[in-house]
Copies of this chain bind each other. A is one copy, B any other.
Amino acid sequence: MNTKPTAQLLQESKLLRTLPHNALQQLIARAQTRALARDQFFLRQGSPAVAVYLLIDGHAKVTQVTPDGHQVLFRIIGPGQEFGLLAVLSDLVYPLSVQTLDHATALLWHGEVLAQFMERYPALAFNALRILAEHNQELQQQYQALLTEKVQQRVAQVLVRLTEQVGRPVNTGILIDLPLSREELAEMAGTTLYSVSRTLSDWEDRGWVESGRERVVVRSVDALQRIAWPLPE
């Protein structure tokens, strides 16, 4: 599935880039590996945050459920991306769950191990800070979007982001190369599966997308972009 050699993937990851070679080697030596089938959990919301993960193959979704059962899908993780970062801090609990979307493999370290490396190699700590700061900004944008934008805009944004992150060119357009249900798309866009379904049907009529069971092909990214980020005035 994954074409890149693992070592290169790690070197280019947001978390481990800029680390000295020997540090990277030591880290790799101390990593555990965990491979999971589809729909399995790497970590669960509410359980003690003991390990930091770095996905090296496959995809996973980051979700959170409210006390009343509503589910939110914050982002999708692909190879080279990390999660569970806050395990470097002690005595915390994961605020969200990470569940595989296909067969996926991750490296993991005990939080304390990574904390020790951060003390020795500040670059690692700065990388972590940068990652958290980016997450913050993305969350702020999503909050804004939920507050000010209409459902169609948000769905369009989700689809455009997905084409960028997991898009694969096929003859009729760009396939979103993950099995995402309407429900999951809805959880990403902050709406209901019904609204997603209607929206996709509409766009299918216009020839902008083709959609099927847990499958979407975007035929015109342009059109979706115009919906997602309409020109000012």
A interface, CB within 8 angstroms of B: 64, 66-68, 70, 72, 74, 85-86, 88-89, 92, 95-96, 115, 118-119, 122, 125-126, 128-130, 132-133, 135-137, 139-140, 142-144, 146-148, 190, 232
The one of B118, B139, B144 that contacts A136, using a Cβ cutoff of 8 Å: B139
Question: How far, in whole Å, are A135 and B122 apart by their CA atoms in the complex?
Answer: 22
Kindly provide the distance from the CB of A53 to the nearest chain B CB, expressed in whole angstroms.
Answer: 15
Question: How far, in whole Å, are A118 and B190 apart by their CA atoms in the complex?
Answer: 38
Which chain B residue has the least Cβ–Cβ distance from A126? B89
Which chain B residue has the least Cβ–Cβ distance from A230? B68
Kindly provide the distance from the CB of A123 to the nearest chain B CB, expressed in whole angstroms.
Answer: 9
Residues of B near A95 (CB, < 8 A) are: 136-137, 140
Residues of B near A144 (CB, < 8 A) are: 64, 66, 70, 72
Question: How far, in whole Å, are A85 and B134 apart by their CA atoms in the complex?
Answer: 12
Which chain B residue has the least Cβ–Cβ distance from A124? B125
Which chain B residue has the least Cβ–Cβ distance from A229? B67
Which chain B residue has the least Cβ–Cβ distance from A130? B89
Q: Describe A's contact surface by its main secondary structure.
A: helix
The one of B72, B115, B122, B125 that contacts A143, using a Cβ cutoff of 8 Å: B72
Is there an interface contact between A140 and B74, defined as CB atoms closer than 8 Å? yes
Is there an interface contact between A125 and B129, defined as CB atoms closer than 8 Å? yes
Question: How far, in whole Å, are A67 and B143 apart by their CA atoms in the complex?
Answer: 14
Residues of B near A115 (CB, < 8 A) are: 126
Residues of B near A130 (CB, < 8 A) are: 89
Residues of B near A190 (CB, < 8 A) are: 143, 147
Is there an interface contact between B89 and A140, defined as CB atoms closer than 8 Å? no
Is there an interface contact between A89 and B129, defined as CB atoms closer than 8 Å? yes
The one of B85, B129, B143 that contacts A142, using a Cβ cutoff of 8 Å: B143
Besides A115-B126, A125-B125, 14 more A-B contacts (Cβ < 8 Å) are: A70-B144, A70-B148, A72-B143, A85-B133, A88-B126, A95-B137, A118-B126, A122-B122, A129-B129, A135-B136, A139-B139, A139-B143, A143-B190, A147-B190
Which chain B residue has the least Cβ–Cβ distance from A128? B129
